Amino acid sequence: MADEFIKGFGALMVGGLGWMTIAGWYRTPSFEGAQLIGELPPAESRTVFDSMAIAMMDVFFWFAVFGALTFWVLIPLVGELREYLDERSA
């Protein structure tokens, strides 16, 4: 159980840190306004590396969300379900 916790926490932290870093680069046009969720640069002005980084930003974000959900909710749920089914069939 503790293993599942730290796996989910690791996914949350790694994904969150990666998302925060790239969002700080591309979605923070100014420190006065919206930060991390601001306007993306226009598509025509992006280089290949910019596009890759912006794609990675979403990957990191959903990795954080689904990683935590998987290890904290999904896997324990499956375990409980399997235990319940085993008990019922026994």
List residues binding another protein (CB under 8 A).
17, 20-21, 24-25, 31
Beta carbons within 10 angstroms of residue 8's beta carbon: 21
Least distance (Å) from another protein to the CB of residue 24?
5
Give whichever of 25 and 84 is closer to another protein, judged by the CB atom. Answer: 25
Contact 23, 72 (CB under 8 A): no
The minimum distance between CB 16 and another protein, in angstroms, equals 13
Task: Decide if 16 contacts 47 (C-beta within 8 A).
Answer: no
Q: Tell me the longest C-alpha to C-alpha distance in the chain.
A: 64
Least distance to another protein from the beta carbon of 65, Å? 21
